[in-house]
Amino acid sequence: MEISERKYKMVKEDFENTKVNFPLVGKKAPSFNLKAFYKGEFKDVNLEDYLGKWLVLVFYPADFTFICPTELSKFADYYEDFKNENSEILSISKDTEFVHKAWWDNSDSIKKIKFPMLADPTGKMCKNYGTYMEEEGLSLRASIIIDPEGIVKSVDIHDNSIGRSVKEVLRKLKASKYVAENVGEVCPVDWVPGKESLKPGIELVGKI
């Protein structure tokens, strides 16, 4: 009994000390101004540069790792598909822009990348977007979609041992665009362009 009470107190303390990050969805995207490796150069990149376009933020733990190059390489393969949706991709990790360049120079997978690779060595952007892991000093794997007005529409954050689906990120982007352009409609499960959407109303209650 004494052991279980001690465990209960420890769990209770952990729970009370846990910092709750409220969802960003529906809120203004936190501003950022970072250095990036882009098209063979070092450039300044900020959120305001992309107002008027859809933006896909791709957070990942670190350069010169294992799952990360498979993901970024796949985003590079689909880059034109994202651009066709009036969107831009920005990848973000805590590595410096110099490390990004070294990775780009040495990896055939990363050399395919044509989108900006942002450097967040202080972790400020990762913290503002809720992806920062204090103990590891790295970012979680996250995909965040921002609309042309700078409002966050989708956030997907998960364990770093799990690679994401680039096709699913693109599908979410297309769904976000569709509902923005077709006010009053919503996208049901597994919706893709060409499939039927729904228009919520009292006549649909209990009929789906």
| Nearest partner of 59 among 151, 182, 204, 164, judged by Cα | 164
**Which among 56, 68, 170, 175 is annotated as catalytic?**
68
* Residues 47-70 pLDDT 10s: 999 999 999 999 999 999 999 999
Stated pTM of the model:
0.88
Domain ranges of the chain: 21-164
| Cβ-Cβ contacts under 8 Å for 143 (sequence gap 6 or more) | 56, 57, 58, 59, 154, 155, 156, 164, 169, 172
3 state SS of 205: coil
Min mean pLDDT across 5-19, 74-88, 137-151, 184-198 is at 5-19
Q: Is 126 a catalytic residue?
A: no
User: Residue 149: exposed, middle, or buried by beta-carbon count in 10 A (0-12, 13-18, 19+)?
Assistant: exposed
* Residues 147-159 pLDDT 10s: 999 999 999 999 9
- Looking from the CA of 112 toward its CB, the CA atoms found within 13 Å total 14
Run of H or E residues at 59: strand 54-59
Options 3.40.30.10, 1.20.140.10, 2.40.110.10, 3.30.390.50; CATH of 21-164: 3.40.30.10
In this prediction, residues 26-39 reach a mean pLDDT of 97
In this prediction, residues 160-164 reach a mean pLDDT of 97
In this prediction, residues 113-130 reach a mean pLDDT of 97
